[in-house]
A = this chain, B = another copy of it.
């Protein structure tokens, strides 16, 4: 074989165009031309609300009162014991579970939670499933762990999990399925009924195939839910073979601090062995420990969130007005995304047209689903207000 100066797959990943990044960069260029206030950039899923004040209070206290060598030292590879204990207590209090510190592995955020989990369990020949539309990095993470991603087509009516399609596509090679609720990119929260039926089906398939199928609950948006009566069931209570991949990026507005965790449900089959494999995968990928200061910060701020009412206001404003203008919007109960049907079949062409009105939207194709756009409303309410006439004109341009 000819010498390859680099891993071809890594080069391809490094050079892969990202429609989200391209849109964001277009927005920056356009802002330079016509002024930032005239560009309506809804492309990025970055929290726009500051971290709660208590985060900085905690950091200041830690700096004042904790020995520097300890504060900035390595923690155990799995995370500091008191931090894991605090997280376990918080989970048990909220969800009535029986989780202990030894079931938790602290990570550098949601992406690390997913890559470490996938590398721990995926073996050659395994498939990992997910429901469309889905966060496109899932494909990168699954394939890098040596698995094959099976995408289950979307339920285009309600954007709940498409259980019929799941039942048709699942095979004995299925090692795991990634479930993301509240969902990126749709903002939909899967109903309790949908989740319960899914878990029942999944368990039947486990019994049929004679082996576990892991449910990987990707939950960075768990706390971002806006309707008081919306329930986001805790999946380890519905299904034994569950990993929870969590991140504090959205709930505490700390995406840059890279802090999250993996919960290996204590009810999982062989859970201690699977946990050991998680530790091995973390080591193999070069994760020595999660950032030590951030570990202590989240432990002191469990149960707190950024001011999420701003996202709720943004959601209400966009959903109501866009629906009034004639857009078909999928009702978003959570996360900070609005999923809107494009006004022509080709979402890319629709997003190009939207740029004529300085609206920067992300077409749905990269999420594994055609004909929709994602509107990330983690922006200022004031920008949304200013953008409404542009959305109206865009609808009018399509005769609405």
Contacts and interface: CB of A to CB of B under 8 A. Distances in A.
B277 A7 contact: yes
Given A56-B63, A274-B5, A256 B286 contact: no
B69 A257 contact: no
Interface centre among A15, A140, A285, A292 (most CB of B within 10 A): A285
Nearest to A8: B123
Interface of A is mostly: helix
Contacts of A193: none
A276 B15 contact: yes
A154 B3 CA distance: 29
A5 to B, nearest CB: 5
Contacts of A302: none
A34 interface: no
Interface stretch (A106-114, A364-372, A387-395): A106-114
Given A121-B5, A210-B3, A10 B256 contact: no
A229 interface: no
A199 interface: no
Contacts of A114: 286
A28 interface: no
Contact of A144 (B12, B67, B285): B285
Nearest to A75: B256
Contacts of A48: 69
A251 to B, nearest CB: 12
Contacts of A8: 123
A131 to B, nearest CB: 21
A294 interface: yes
Contacts of A12: 280
Nearest to A282: B14
A49 interface: yes
A11 interface: yes
Contacts of A74: 46, 255-256
Contact of A253 (B14, B56, B68): B68
Interface string A149-178: 000000000000000000000000000000
Contacts of A122: 7
Contacts of A32: none
Contacts of A71: 256
Contact of A286 (B56, B72, B112, B211): B112
Contacts of A111: 286-288
Given A51-B72, A74-B255, A288-B109, A283 B140 contact: yes
A72 B255 contact: yes
B72 A269 contact: no
Contact of A10 (B9, B59, B119): B119
A397 B252 CA distance: 58
A11 to B, nearest CB: 4
Contact of A119 (B7, B255, B270, B287): B7
Given A15-B280, A113-B286, A256-B292, 17 more contacts: A3-B211, A5-B121, A5-B211, A6-B120, A6-B123, A10-B281, A14-B276, A14-B280, A50-B69, A59-B63, A73-B256, A108-B287, A111-B286, A140-B284, A285-B285, A285-B286, A291-B291
Interface of A: 1, 3-16, 46-51, 55-56, 59-60, 63, 67-69, 71-75, 108-109, 111-116, 119-123, 125, 137, 140-141, 144, 210-212, 253-258, 269-270, 273-281, 283-294
